[in-house]
A and B are shown apart, each in its own frame.
Chain A
Amino acid sequence: MEVFINLLVNGVSTGLLIFLLAAGLTLIFGLMSVLNFAHGGLFVWGAFSGAWIFKETNSFLLAIAGSIAIGMVLGWVLERFLIRPVYGNHVRQLLITLGGMLVLSESIKIFWGPNPIRVNLPAWLEGSYQFDGIIIIKYRVFVIVVGLLLYLALWLLLSRTQIGLMIRAGVLDKEMVQALGINVKGLFTFVFLLGAGLAALGGALLAPYSGVVFAEMGMQYAILAFIVVIIGGMGSLQGSALASLIVGVAGAFMAYYMPDLSLALNMLLLATVLLVKPTGLLGEKGSAV
């Protein structure tokens, strides 16, 4: 029972971290039809800038806020100068965002050097909760709480606000939204910045979670996030949340019970879902919420 609960907590917290990365990716794809590989670069910048601010100021909350701000600034630069010129052309998007991903990852080395850097947990999140022989690491609970709150906030944004309504309509029919007097380019920028901020936050939260950050981790997590977005259904926030939890929890259990198979797990999940439901678990046109 202890093992089961521990694996479950680990899986859910990992899943919610992946969700932070996948949420932005799925909204950007759903609304803008942009395959943004550079998203992983924003994630790694979030991780490094968060770790650096935390080290310099000893304030974890400031580190989180700073990394989100840096992620959004970088996101704005990416959207404005790299992605806007290639809207509607998937091949060019793929090439240019892959290039953006490499530039973002390599530029990390200019600021923080080529070696991985260690990141400590903030003092107030060190330690663990213990009851009935079950030990749950405090930081993982924190990640779960933050992940769930953000999911709720995103859900409220999309389903209860005017701008959320515009985004959902934009996912369905961009032209028609423009014909209603709504500036879709402005909406694109907003969604892109939101996604960039979420990716950077995911990176900042992952840094103390994994204890070490390295420049190449962006690609690793970007691929994971793409798998999640496809499994959940491209453009669907709920689908990404569900797929993130499935990937996180299944990964935790497989790594414990069948470690040899754990590497192939994500691909197996992806292939199974694509065979059974090619649009993804909750992926239907317009399912942004």
Chain B
Amino acid sequence: MSLLKLDNLETYLGQYHILQGVSMSVEVGSITVLFGRNGAGKTTTLRSIMGFNPSTTGSVHYHNQKISGMPTHLISRKGIGYVPENQGIFSALTIEETLNLARAKSTGDAEEKMEWMLELFPDLKKFWRKKSGLLSGGQKQMLAIARAYINGDGLLLIDEPSKGLSPIMVEKLMESILKMKEKTTILLVEQNFLMASEIGNYFYIMDDGKIVHDGWMQDLKDDRETCQKYLGIA
């Protein structure tokens, strides 16, 4: 069953035509990975879903309800959690304050979700009263994911969580994302093919603002030509 459906999205940033008819869908309970080189339009796709960069034409449906054209805070209240590329950490707030803020407009059972996140990311409990700006890169990413999970209910949009992290931290994070799949659906933007191909079920590849390829992750792993052509992997 399709949880999120993008239909022919066209998005402009100023004079630049970034998304040129993007159509895709995300199935309930899956990890769908959006691949593509820098500048392909992956981040803009997530930002268009969230309403930060609204599309000029096309539509976004969540739970069969049209959400394109709605303001961002109402899209979020539908149950979509968002982890931006830069993590969007509130540096002067503590972990406690950040997660309390996420709970304020949470659409699901916030208490249960909070408990599970602290279990999944024990560092957040350990540094509960620490200012978020003082956390390590990996801890900040954990906080950003926990915040989005607690706030949302049903779908997480995660933009390049492995960016700038050590290989060990990336591995740890991916294990956590895989565990989260049991409780939520994830649309993951990633450039780290090795990592994302291990946890993803379905994939889309973007190039120049268009979806150029999609299919099951297992098939992509075996498709050397597509990997080399669009992802630069030999």
Pairs A–B under 8 Å by Cβ, sample size 26:
A165-B104, A166-B101, A168-B90, A169-B90, A169-B97, A169-B101, A173-B88, A175-B84, A175-B88, A176-B88, A178-B71, A179-B50, A179-B84, A180-B73, A180-B147, A180-B151, A181-B73, A181-B74, A181-B76, A181-B151, A182-B73, A182-B105, A284-B92, A285-B91, A285-B92, A287-B92
Q: Is A286 a contact of B92 with CB atoms below 8 Å?
A: yes
Mark out the residues of chain B between 97 and 114 whose CB falls within 8 Å of any chain A CB in the assembled complex.
97-98, 100-102, 104-107
Contacts of A165 in B (CB 8 A): 93, 97, 100-101, 104
Kindly state whether residue A184 has any CB partner on chain B within 8 Å: yes
Kindly state whether residue B130 has any CB partner on chain A within 8 Å: no
User: Which of B71, B84, B92 is close to A176, meaning CB atoms less than 8 Å apart?
Assistant: B84
Measured CB to CB, the closest approach of chain A to B15, in angstroms, equals 18
Contacts of A166 in B (CB 8 A): 101, 104
Contacts of A169 in B (CB 8 A): 90, 93, 97-98, 101
Report whether over half of chain A's contact residues are helix, strand or loop; otherwise say mixed. Answer: helix
User: Which of B88, B89, B93, B147 is close to A168, meaning CB atoms less than 8 Å apart?
Assistant: B93
Mark out the residues of chain B between 147 and 205 whose CB falls within 8 Å of any chain A CB in the assembled complex.
147-148, 151
Q: Is B92 a contact of A178 with CB atoms below 8 Å?
A: no
Chain A interfacial residues counted at CB < 8 A = 22
Kindly state whether residue A183 has any CB partner on chain B within 8 Å: yes
Kindly state whether residue A130 has any CB partner on chain B within 8 Å: no
Known: A168-B97, A180-B101. 16 other contacts (CB 8 A): A162-B104, A166-B104, A168-B90, A173-B90, A178-B71, A178-B73, A179-B72, A179-B76, A179-B84, A179-B151, A180-B104, A181-B77, A181-B106, A285-B91, A286-B92, A286-B133
Chain B interfacial residues counted at CB < 8 A = 29
Kindly state whether residue B216 has any CB partner on chain A within 8 Å: no
Q: How far is the CA of A246 from the CA of B151 in the complex (A)?
A: 42
Kindly state whether residue A102 has any CB partner on chain B within 8 Å: no
Q: Is A175 a contact of B101 with CB atoms below 8 Å?
A: no
Q: Is B105 a contact of A286 with CB atoms below 8 Å?
A: no
Count of chain A to chain B residue pairs whose CB atoms are closer than 8 Å in the complex: 81
Kindly state whether residue A172 has any CB partner on chain B within 8 Å: yes
Which residue numbers of B lie inside 8 Å of A, CB to CB?
50, 52, 71-74, 76-77, 82, 84, 88-93, 97-98, 100-102, 104-107, 133, 147-148, 151
Q: How far is the CA of A162 from the CA of B105 in the complex (A)?
A: 11
Given A169-B93, A286-B90, answer yes or no on A178-B101 (Cβ-Cβ < 8 Å): no
Q: Is A180 a contact of B97 with CB atoms below 8 Å?
A: no
Contacts of B92 in A (CB 8 A): 168, 172, 284-288
Q: Is B93 a contact of A183 with CB atoms below 8 Å?
A: no
Q: How far is the CA of A286 from the CA of B92 in the complex (A)?
A: 6
Q: Is B82 a contact of A179 with CB atoms below 8 Å?
A: yes
Mark out the residues of chain A between 131 and 148 whose CB falls within 8 Å of any chain B CB in the assembled complex.
none
Given A165-B100, A180-B151, answer yes or no on A172-B90 (Cβ-Cβ < 8 Å): yes
Mark out the residues of chain A between 175 and 196 whose CB falls within 8 Å of any chain B CB in the assembled complex.
175-184
Measured CB to CB, the closest approach of chain A to B73, in angstroms, equals 5
- Contact string against B for A residues 248-284, beta-carbon threshold 8 Å, 1 for contact and 0 otherwise: 0000000000000000000000000000000000001
Q: Is B88 a contact of A184 with CB atoms below 8 Å?
A: no
Q: How far is the CA of A287 from the CA of B90 in the complex (A)?
A: 11
